[in-house]
A and B are shown apart, each in its own frame.
Chain A
Amino acid sequence: MTERMMIRLIENAAQLFLLLALAPLVTGVIRTLKARLQTRRGPGILQPYRDLRKLFRKGMVIPETASWIFAATPWVVFFSTLLAGLMIPMVAAEAPLGLFGGVLAVIYLLGLGRFFLALSGLDSGSSFGGLGSSREMTISALAEPAMMLAIFTVAIGAGSTGLTEIAGAAIGQNWRFLAPAQMFAFAALALVLIAETGRIPVDNPDTHLELTMIHEAMILEYSGPYLALIEWAVSIKQLVLMTLLINCFWPIGLQPTWFGFGALQGIGWLLAKLLFLSCAIVLLETVNAKMRLFRVPELLAVAFTLGSLALVSTFLF
């Protein structure tokens, strides 16, 4: 018992470290690639780490009108995102904290973070915060049914909502991701990922103080370490959703355990797959323009349709 618990503890610690360390890098790589594609030089892939270090050293301005919700939110967002991150398989096929929750728990933990973020947006009393909260909750609500349909498709294939089992089923059947159901589900989840991580064409992560902003509007009043926590949590959330997508559909390179040389191999595969997905995101962001807010439901309706198609094709093919 103690030995198994020790192993679990080490796995969790390793994945925790990976989440914390890798998340800013993914953000940095996406930013740099995007800059290069737009023939800019870009700030370099390590810039998010420098930003975090700078923010953690700074002081904070707390809005006079804000309550304790404002101070609690960064922590709730940060911890719930990390907890969700421990429930997904990253390097080994087994999710380190799989016992505590599967894919539904991941989604609802991210929902908990979003709930508090939306509250803090309204807490300061500025119109921007309310605007961001309102839009964020609307878009995430509309993304939810599409996401759930895609997840149901995957979960039905695996017979479980546990991510260890889902990844295991994907490994067990080679090239399963070429089946129509899987491809539809992948497409649906990819669209949801774009909406959930606030990327173009749903939201522009680079805007600040524009009337079209969503996520940035909610966190407008944050500064210093709290802002750093939220920024970090946002990049972890992006990493979690990206990893969820790649490891449920392309399980190539997932290792049986966290130990030995295999782990390095697993990390190598993870980085390669993340880079590939980042390139796809960058391409999508560069060739598209941001949509009007009221066109976003149409995009999510497409995702919902793809999810339904995925479901129907599970028993047609």
Chain B
Amino acid sequence: MIAELFLSGIIVWLAGAMASLALWCQPAAARRVACAAALAGSLLDLAASTAAIFSSSPIVIGLPFGNPVFTWAVRLDPLSSYFNVTLAALAAAVSLYSFGYLREMEGRRNLGTFGFFFNLLLLSLALVFTASNAFFFLMTWEVMALSSFCLISFEHEKEKTRNAGVLFLIMSHAGTGLLLIAFLVLASASGSLDFSSFHLLASRMPPLEQDVIFLLFLVGFGVKAGVVPLHIWLPEAHPVSPSNVSALMSGIVIKTGIYGMARVFFDFYGAPPIWMGTVVLGLGVASALLGVLYALMEHDLKRLLAWHSIENIGIILMGFGAALMFRSLGQANLAALALIAALYHTFNHAMFKGLLFLGAGSVVQATHTRNMEKMGGLIRRMPVTAVCFLLGAVAISGLPPLNGFVSEWLTYQALLAGFGTTQSLTRLMFPIAGSLLALTAALAAACFVKAFAIPFLALPRSEEAADAREASLPMRAGMAVLTVGCVALGLGATWFVRVFDPITQQALGVRASSALVMARGWALSPGTAHGGTISTAGMAMLFLIAGAAFALPLAARWRRRSVPGPTWDCGQPGLTADNEYTATAFSKPLRMIFSALYRPRREIQAEYEVSPHYPSAIRFENEIEPTFEKHLYGPLWERIMAAANRMKGIQAGSINLYLTYIFITLILLLLFGVRG
């Protein structure tokens, strides 16, 4: 039954892809078919994978393709199914949203190809999460990368978009190359490409190979996940793609890297050496902190959100790192807690980041700009979008009682418990990581005050913002679905943690949820004795009671005594949008405090006629140094170009020469084969 549901989802996506390609000259039909197929496929996939999490044994489905060497088979075990649920829940909302979002593009862009790649992306994602052998995994991985590339480059007439797409493609393939090597090493050790033959295999290999494979996987999957310092493609690619694609990219495509790491760390490895956990934890802290610090400096709304994806990947990796360390230390229960925190955050991030990108898409479509400094006052023009975006902002800032708070709280608990697990100095890492997580969360809150207040509050800063119109009904529905997801995952935390039982059972051999749920489902605890509890549902209930009993009646009474009046304008005649604080000004204190990192450069040019005190025009330019691009990738790029230049010599263009090369290679391979 589950297998049939899953397969029908795949078939619906495939059919949707083909049909929308066939309908490319009828944009309206292509849009409807593509979105309907994407939605239907997602719902089928959601049903199948939800059931598969709780199914007693993994569901194995052989696909009727392939050959004896490379079988095409999918396997829905709890971990795969969990990521598939995340995918399906997000994709359903995004498909709903796309009904309205793509309408604007009708007649201007080829929606047939868009629908094709959109459905193909969903299809390949579902298969990446479920592929049960290395060959099939890498194949679907490539389909996913290529369809993402096509969707990122959809507005390809802009040079920035093309560059971002190419950067994504290069980095993605470099990562895939590393994955290929790692999988081949594993395959040669096991004699099979099947994932089930890799189970705990890596831990039985010689130490050096173990370490090399670990690093290959970490970098290979890290590129896709956007881990610092492999993140540079992410803030370029996410903003330039259409916003429904950004939501998918940020919500789920980068999670394939997380899935890959989870598969490798908790399936292929048994108890890894402790340094692996510390490396992952350290990378997580670096990604989280640098992600949010760069996000603060952005005033491109979508770029800002893209940087926050890096931050949240960092938070997820903090959970993974702690889980790996606990596993090395033999603390299965704590490892389960940390793994739950990481996976919970993965789902949460898909919900709120998907929501925020969809909200940003509505705003960008209404104002025709991504620059926050040109928005403002949208809460009156776009009330529904504003409420959804606000709840998403509260959720991503980790504020109670929404879902971000629950997973960050679990991460804190895991880190806190870590201090007592070892006597070595390594244990200092846990509380320091915890305090930097606190810094990250507080900076994220600062950033989302900016990201909500500047576009949505006060007066419009441009005519486009003043004339903005609320998003269409399907777009609002898509955002509402994800908003409900954020609220439900926050309030229903004790109900949701039961989902992790099969996963932790599979990965670590423990079922943790019964220890996590307390007070008849009202409170969540970290599962350690007297570990402290939270009750998001209880908090929300008290807020509602207090609001209904006091706030509403009193506010109604006070409203009769209130008069509207102008905002204090310091005695100048009339308040205009020019008086408002800008996004750049808002983040100025942090830009000055962290100037060692940002190395800000600013340039002010004033034109004047009589005296410099009375300028007729002022030009202000402000930028921060892109540290990684300049100091890491710049030199790397130069080396690569230099090496390529040197290698020009052997590429003379003569066919005889190339035949000689082929011949020499053949001889060498034969010799190698004979010797081996």
Seen from chain A, the residues whose Cβ lies within 8 Å of a Cβ on chain B are 58-69, 71, 75, 79-80, 82-83, 98-105, 108-109, 111-112, 114-115, 118-119, 122-131, 133-135, 137-138, 140-149, 152-153, 155-156, 159-162, 165, 220-221, 224-226, 293-294, 297, 304, 307-308, 311-312
Which of B58-66, B222-230, B357-365, B531-539 makes up part of the contact surface? B531-539
**Residues in B neighbouring A225, C-beta threshold 8 A:** 554, 558, 561
**Cβ-defined contact, A65 with B539, below 8 A:** no
* A139 CB, nearest partner CB in chain B, Å: 8
**Residues in B neighbouring A149, C-beta threshold 8 A:** 431-432, 434-435
The answer for the CA separation of A69 and B563 in the assembled complex, in Å, is 17
Which of B470-478, B496-504, B577-585 makes up part of the contact surface? B577-585
* B470 CB, nearest partner CB in chain A, Å: 14
Cβ contacts B409-429/A at 8 Å (1 or 0 each): 100110010011000000010
Cβ contacts B200-213/A at 8 Å (1 or 0 each): 00000000000000
Contact of A111 among B399, B529, B569 (CB under 8 A): B399
The answer for the CA separation of A152 and B412 in the assembled complex, in Å, is 9
Q: A156-B420, A224-B561 are in contact. Are A122 and B459 (CB under 8 A)?
A: no
Q: A60-B558, A140-B442, A156-B431 are in contact. Are A102 and B532 (CB under 8 A)?
A: yes
Name which residue of chain A comes closest to B439, CB basis: A145
- Chain B's interface size range is 35 or more
Cβ contacts B468-501/A at 8 Å (1 or 0 each): 0000000000000000000000000000000000
The answer for the CA separation of A259 and B572 in the assembled complex, in Å, is 59
Q: A138-B590, A145-B438, A294-B593 are in contact. Are A108 and B399 (CB under 8 A)?
A: yes
**Residues in B neighbouring A64, C-beta threshold 8 A:** 564-567
The answer for the CA separation of A220 and B575 in the assembled complex, in Å, is 15
**Cβ-defined contact, A145 with B436, below 8 A:** yes
**Cβ-defined contact, A75 with B567, below 8 A:** no
A-B contact pairs, 28 of them (CB 8 A): A58-B561, A62-B563, A63-B564, A63-B566, A65-B458, A75-B555, A83-B539, A83-B542, A99-B523, A100-B538, A111-B397, A111-B445, A114-B445, A122-B449, A122-B458, A125-B459, A125-B567, A133-B453, A135-B589, A140-B446, A141-B590, A147-B438, A155-B532, A159-B420, A159-B529, A221-B567, A221-B568, A312-B428
* A233 CB, nearest partner CB in chain B, Å: 13
**Residues in B neighbouring A141, C-beta threshold 8 A:** 439, 442-443, 445-446, 590
The answer for the CA separation of A82 and B545 in the assembled complex, in Å, is 13
Name which residue of chain A comes closest to B446, CB basis: A137
**Residues in B neighbouring A100, C-beta threshold 8 A:** 523, 533-535, 538-539, 542
**Cβ-defined contact, B546 with A104, below 8 A:** no
**Cβ-defined contact, B438 with A133, below 8 A:** no
Name which residue of chain B comes closest to A138, CB basis: B589
List the 7 shortest-distance A-B pairs measured between CB atoms, nearest first: A130-B581, A162-B532, A125-B458, A161-B532, A137-B446, A148-B438, A122-B453
Name which residue of chain B comes closest to A166, CB basis: B532
**Residues in B neighbouring A102, C-beta threshold 8 A:** 532-534
The answer for the CA separation of A127 and B436 in the assembled complex, in Å, is 31
The answer for the CA separation of A293 and B590 in the assembled complex, in Å, is 11
**Residues in A neighbouring B598, C-beta threshold 8 A:** none
Query: Cβ of B457 < 8 Å from any Cβ of A?
Result: yes
* B392 CB, nearest partner CB in chain A, Å: 13
Give residues of chain B (494-534) contacting chain A, Cβ–Cβ below 8 Å: 518-519, 522-523, 528-534
The answer for the CA separation of A105 and B493 in the assembled complex, in Å, is 15
Contact of B419 among A127, A145, A156 (CB under 8 A): A156
**Residues in A neighbouring B535, C-beta threshold 8 A:** 99-101
Query: Cβ of B264 < 8 Å from any Cβ of A?
Result: no
Query: Cβ of B633 < 8 Å from any Cβ of A?
Result: no
**Residues in A neighbouring B547, C-beta threshold 8 A:** 75, 79
**Cβ-defined contact, B593 with A99, below 8 A:** no
**Residues in A neighbouring B523, C-beta threshold 8 A:** 99-100
**Residues in A neighbouring B377, C-beta threshold 8 A:** 65
Contact of A133 among B405, B459, B529, B586 (CB under 8 A): B586
Contact of B457 among A69, A144, A159, A293 (CB under 8 A): A69
The answer for the CA separation of A101 and B530 in the assembled complex, in Å, is 12
**Residues in B neighbouring A131, C-beta threshold 8 A:** 581, 585
Name which residue of chain A comes closest to B380, CB basis: A67
**Residues in B neighbouring A66, C-beta threshold 8 A:** 567
The answer for the CA separation of A108 and B411 in the assembled complex, in Å, is 14
**Cβ-defined contact, A112 with B394, below 8 A:** yes
The answer for the CA separation of A138 and B431 in the assembled complex, in Å, is 22
The answer for the CA separation of A112 and B391 in the assembled complex, in Å, is 12
Name which residue of chain A comes closest to B588, CB basis: A134
Query: Cβ of B587 < 8 Å from any Cβ of A?
Result: yes
**Residues in A neighbouring B437, C-beta threshold 8 A:** 148
The answer for the CA separation of A137 and B554 in the assembled complex, in Å, is 29
Q: Which residue, of A83, A133, A137, has the highest number of chain B Cβ atoms within 10 A?
A: A137
**Cβ-defined contact, B567 with A124, below 8 A:** yes
Name which residue of chain A comes closest to B405, CB basis: A108
**Cβ-defined contact, B428 with A60, below 8 A:** no
* A20 CB, nearest partner CB in chain B, Å: 12
Query: Cβ of B136 < 8 Å from any Cβ of A?
Result: no
**Cβ-defined contact, B593 with A162, below 8 A:** no
Give residues of chain B (540-562) contacting chain A, Cβ–Cβ below 8 Å: 542-543, 546-547, 551, 554-555, 558, 561-562
**Cβ-defined contact, A101 with B539, below 8 A:** yes
**Residues in A neighbouring B412, C-beta threshold 8 A:** 104, 161
Q: Which residue, of B435, B437, B439, has the highest number of chain A Cβ atoms within 10 A?
A: B435
The answer for the CA separation of A37 and B232 in the assembled complex, in Å, is 57
The answer for the CA separation of A130 and B397 in the assembled complex, in Å, is 19
